[in-house]
Amino acid sequence: GPPPAPAAAVAGGRQFEAADAVEHARLAPRLRSGAPSWPPSSAEGAPARGPASSSASSAPATPASRTVYSDRFIPSRTGSNLALFDLAPAPSSSSGSAAAAAPPSPYCALLRAALFGPDTPDRLASSAGASSSSAASPVGSPAGGNIFRFKAEVPRNAKRALFAGGDDQDLLFPGIFTPKGSGPRKIPRSPYKVLDAPALQDDFYLNLVDWSSHNVLSVGLGNCVYLWNACSSKVCVRLCDLGADDTVCSVSWAQRGTHLAVGTNQGTVQIWDATRCKRMRTMESHRMRVGALAWNSSLLSSGSRDKNILHHDLRAPEDYVSKLTGHKSEVCGLKWSYDNRQLASGGNDNKLFVWNQHSVQPVLKYTEHTAAVKAIAWSPHLHGLLASGGGTADRCIRFWNTTTNTHLSSMDTGSQVCNLVWSKNVNELVSTHGYSQNQIIVWRYPTMSKLATLTGHTFRVLYLAISPDGQTIVTGAGDETLRFWNVFPSPKSQSSDSLSSIGATSFVRSYIR
C-alpha cells in the first residue's frame, strides 16, 4: 500500500478542516436568511485561510450591523463617504440646530438632487422601512441607503430631467437644466419702433419697401425714394424725385446692397447707385406701371401692368434681354429662388407661374388660387419649396414643391394675404394681411401653427421686408406708418431673448422724412 503520510501533513490538514468548520458556522445564519454571502463586508474581512485564531471563533454579526447587498453586480454606495464631495443629505426638520444653521450651497443642493432625485414625500415614505431596520447611515448617505441601488426605483421625473430633456425639468430645477430656447419662444406683441411715412400708398399691387444687405431701408413715398439707415436710425438721403408727373411703384435692392432698382408709374425702371446717390441707368421697356422687381445677380426682372415680365441685364446695352409672357393680367409678385435657378411670378389673373433661367413660357402653372397672387416666398431651408398667398377672395397660403410639381398643403388664414417672407434662421414664416383683420402672423412650418399674431396697423399691411440678420421685419400700411417687429431668433443663439442690434430696445416714433 502507499506509505503513511507524515505527521506534520496530517496536523496541517486537521487545522484547515477546523478553519472551514468555523467559517461555515459563521456564515450559516446569513445563508439561512436568504442574503447573498458574497462579497463580504469590509467589517468582516476576507475569510481566513490558515490556522484558526480566536478572532475566527467570534460570534456572528448581528442583524443591525449586517449589510444587505443587491442581487446583481451593481455597487452599493452605503459605505461611501459622500461628504468628500460635499453632498451631505439635506437637513431635515428633526436635525439639530447646527445642521439647520448651515444650509447646503445651491450648487450642492442641485447636484444632490440631480444624483439622488428630489426628496419627495413618496420617496421618503418608501425608504422609511429600510431606514428603521438598518443602522445609522454613514455621512453622505441618503435615507434608505438606496444610492445607485438596483432595488431603488429612480423617480420618473428625475430620469426625464437627467437623461431625456423632458418638460418636467422646470419642476425639478427651474431655470437650470432647461436648454436655452427649448420652450415656446416669446415674441413681442408690439413694435419696438414706429416711423411715420407720409404719402405711403394704399395699393395692394405695389411693392414700396425693401431692406438691403447693408442694413439700409428704402421706401417709396409719393414720387420720391427715401433711404433710412437702420444702424443709426437716421434718414440718410432722399435718393430720387420723379417729379410731379410720376410716382414710385416698386423698389428692390440688389444682393450686394449698393444698387437700388426703382419701378415707376410711367413704366420705366431706374437703377441707382445708393453710395453715390447717382442714377446709373433708365430702361423704358414697359408700357404701363412696374409694380414688381426681383434681382438675380446682375439680372433684374420686372413685372408690369402690361402683363409682361422683362429680364434686364445690366451688362448688356439693350433695355431688356428677354420677355416672358403668360399672365393675363397685371404682374404683382416676383421672386427668384435662393439658388437663382427659378423665378416665381404671381398675377392679378389668380395664377402662379414658375420659370427657369432661359424659358420665355412658364414651366409650371398653378391655378388653385381664386384671387390675385402677390405674396410669394421661397424657402431657404428646402430646395424647391414655394409658398404663395391669395387675395381677399382666396385668403389661403399654399405650399408647392416645384421639384416634383405637387401641391403640398393649404392654410385658410381668414383674410387677404398681402405678403410672405421666410425666416432664414428657423423654419418659420411671416404673413401680413389686409381685409379684414390687418394682422401679422408668425407661423411654424410645416405644422402651420401660429406662434404669434401681431396687430397695430389700422389699414391693410401691404408692405413687408426683413432685416439682413433675419431677426426683424418691417411692415408698412396705408395708415402711413412703418412698424418694426422682433419676430425671429438670431442665427447663433436661435433665441429671441436678445433684441436685434439694428434698433433701440425702447419704443421710438419718428418720421421717415
Q: What is the mean pLDDT of the chain?
A: 78
| Tens-digit pLDDT profile for residues 186-241 | 999 999 999 999 999 999 999 999 999 999 999 999 999 999 999 988 776 899 99
Highest mean pLDDT among 110-114, 122-126, 369-373: 369-373
pLDDT confidence of residue 508: 47
pLDDT of 51 > 50? The answer is no
Looking at residue 299, its amino acid is L
Give CA–CA dist 343/494, Å, rounded. Answer: 30
pLDDT of 495 > 60? The answer is no
- Asked if residue 419 lies in contact with residue 432, where contact means CB atoms within 8 angstroms, the answer is yes
Q: Identify the band that residue 158 occupies on the pLDDT scale cut at 50, 70 and 90.
A: very low
pLDDT confidence of residue 104: 67
Task: Take residue 487 and report the three cell numbers written for it.
Answer: 419676430
Give CA–CA dist 226/463, Å, rounded. Answer: 15
Closest CA to 497 of 180, 178, 170, 169: 180
pLDDT confidence of residue 245: 94
pLDDT confidence of residue 109: 77
Q: Which residue has the higher pLDDT, 511 or 248?
A: 248
Give CA–CA dist 264/267, Å, rounded. Answer: 6
Task: Tell me whether residue 73 is exposed, middle or buried, using C-beta atoms within 10 angstroms of its C-beta: 0 to 12, 13 to 18, 19 or more.
Answer: exposed
Arithmetic mean of pLDDT, 341-364: 96
Q: Which residue has the higher pLDDT, 149 or 441?
A: 441
pLDDT of 468 > 70? The answer is yes
Looking at residue 301, its amino acid is S
- Three-state SS for 75? coil
- Asked if residue 475 lies in contact with residue 190, where contact means CB atoms within 8 angstroms, the answer is no
pTM (whole model) above 0.85 = no
Residue carrying C-alpha cell 438598518: 134
Q: What percent of the chain has pLDDT over 70?
A: 62
Give CA–CA dist 274/117, Å, rounded. Answer: 63
pLDDT confidence of residue 481: 96
pLDDT confidence of residue 411: 97
Closest CA to 483 of 443, 510, 444, 501: 510
Highest mean pLDDT among 65-79, 92-106, 363-377: 363-377
Give CA–CA dist 481/198, Å, rounded. Answer: 8
Q: Which residues contact 225 (CB under 8 A, 6 or more apart)?
A: 218, 219, 238, 239, 240, 248, 251, 260, 262, 272
pLDDT confidence of residue 173: 45
Task: Tell me whether residue 355 is exposed, middle or buried, using C-beta atoms within 10 angstroms of its C-beta: 0 to 12, 13 to 18, 19 or more.
Answer: buried
- Asked if residue 314 lies in contact with residue 321, where contact means CB atoms within 8 angstroms, the answer is no
pLDDT of 416 > 70? The answer is yes
Task: Take residue 356 and report the three cell numbers written for it.
Answer: 427657369
Q: Identify the band that residue 394 occupies on the pLDDT scale cut at 50, 70 and 90.
A: very high
CATH number of 193-496: 2.130.10.10
Long-range contacts of 82-89 (CB under 8 A, 24+ apart): 82/139, 82/140, 82/141, 82/147, 83/139, 83/140, 84/140, 85/140, 87/111, 87/112, 87/115, 87/140, 88/139, 88/140, 89/140, 89/141, 89/142, 89/143
Task: Tell me whether residue 13 is exposed, middle or buried, using C-beta atoms within 10 angstroms of its C-beta: 0 to 12, 13 to 18, 19 or more.
Answer: exposed
Give CA–CA dist 245/405, Å, rounded. Answer: 44
pLDDT confidence of residue 167: 40
pLDDT of 306 > 50? The answer is yes
Give CA–CA dist 206/208, Å, rounded. Answer: 6
Least confidently predicted of 75-84, 117-126, 340-349: 117-126
pLDDT confidence of residue 71: 62
